[in-house]
Chains A and B, each alone.
Chain A
Amino acid sequence: MARDMDNTMDVAIAVNGLDHYFGTGEARKQAIFDVNLRVERGKLTILMGPSGSGKTTVLTLMGCLREVQEGSVNLLGTELNGATEAQLIGLRRRLGFIFQAHNLHESLTATQNVLMGLQVHGRGDDRKQIAAAHHMLALLGLEDRLNYLPGSLSGGQKQRVAIARALVSNPDIVFADEPTAALDKDSGRTVVEMLKALGQERGTTTVMVTHDNRILELADRIVTLEEGRLVKDEFPRGQSLKLVRATET
Chain B
Amino acid sequence: MTRLMTLLTGRLPIGWLQLAHSRTRLIAALAGVAFANILVFVQLGILGSLNDSTTAPYTLFGGDIMISSVDANTLLDGSNVSRVRLFQALAVTGVSDATALYIENVEWSRPDGGTSTLQTVGLDPKAAGFVPPHLSDTMLQLLLPNTILLDSGTRGLPTAALDGVTSATPYRLELSGQAVSAIGTVRIGGGFTADGSIYASDQTFLNLFPNRSSAAPNHILVNVEDGVDPAVVVERLQEALPGDVVKIGTKADVAAADLAYQTTERPTGIIFGFGVIIGVIVGIVIVYQVLSTDVADHLREYATFKAMGYAQRFFLGIVLEEAVILAVLGFIPGALISWGIYTGMSVATGLPLELGPDRALLVLVGTILACVVSGVIATRRLAAADPADLF
Contacts and interface: CB of A to CB of B under 8 A. Distances in A.
Interface of A: 60, 63-67, 89-93, 95, 97, 99, 101, 103, 105-108, 112, 115-117, 119-120, 123, 149, 165
Interface string B367-391: 0000000000000000000111101
How many chain B residues sit at the interface, stated as a range, is 20 to 34
Contacts of B10: 123
B304 A103 contact: yes
A105 B388 contact: no
B309 A106 contact: no
Nearest to B310: A120
Contacts of A115: 12
Interface of B: 10-12, 14, 17-18, 20-22, 300-301, 303-311, 386-389, 391
A120 B307 contact: no
A82 B303 CA distance: 21
A97 B12 contact: no
A6 to B, nearest CB: 25
B14 A63 contact: no
Given A93-B309, A119-B12, A120-B309, A105 B304 contact: yes
A103 B300 contact: yes
Contacts of B307: 63-65, 92, 97
A107 B16 CA distance: 9
B80 to A, nearest CB: 72
B11 A123 contact: yes
Contact of B386 (A65, A93, A106, A149): A65
A10 B238 CA distance: 95
A89 B309 CA distance: 5
A119 B11 contact: yes
Given A65-B386, A107-B20, A120-B305, 17 more contacts: A60-B387, A65-B388, A66-B387, A89-B309, A91-B309, A93-B309, A99-B391, A103-B391, A105-B14, A105-B304, A106-B21, A107-B22, A108-B17, A116-B305, A117-B308, A123-B11, A165-B308
A123 B9 CA distance: 12
Contacts of A103: 300-301, 303-304, 391
Contacts of B17: 107-108, 112
Most buried by B among A90, A103, A115: A103
A66 B388 CA distance: 6
